[in-house]
Amino acid sequence: MRERGTVTVMTVGFLVLVGLLTVVVVDASDAFLERQKLHNLADGAALAAADALDEDGYYADHRIRLDPSDARRLVGDYLSGEAVRLVAVRADADSVSVRLERDLDLAITPPGWEESATIVSEATARLRPASP
């Protein structure tokens, strides 16, 4: 029974497996951290858009109304200078939803893999009157 060289094959296979796991962990960690940053931006943009509350209308009849054009403008102002794509701003009577995207260049790209990934985050801010 000849077993010469089997340790070499196993060692090479193990090293390839460790290399692939390293690539996956590094890229997944980077994507996770960037998604957290993007989610913080989306939250902040949605909260900034909630400042579009029609205060005069609220104090007149205590009904919450958001101005959609003001909400979009406030989101744009909040995101100015950030390297993100504003995909959608939806404003209805009492809430604002913001959807953002950002491209992420992967730190380690093995042959045959895509070099970038798109990260998406969505946040909603809803206004509710305080309970008496």
pTM, 2 dp: 0.75
Domain boundaries along the sequence of the chain: 1-64, 65-131
Per-residue confidence at 10, pLDDT binned at 50, 70, 90? confident
Show the 3-state SS of 101-125. Answer: EEEEECCCCCCCCCCEEEEEEEEEE
**pLDDT reported for residue 48:** 86
How confident is the model over 60-91, as pLDDT tens digits?
777 777 777 888 888 888 898 888 998 988 88
Evaluate whether 64 touches 127 at the Cβ level (below 8 Å): yes
CA distances from 108 to 21, 24, 102, 112 (A): 11, 9, 18, 12
Other C-beta atoms lying within 10 Å of the C-beta of residue 66 = 22
How confident is the model over 12-67, as pLDDT tens digits?
999 999 988 998 898 889 889 999 999 999 999 998 888 776 666 666 777 777 77
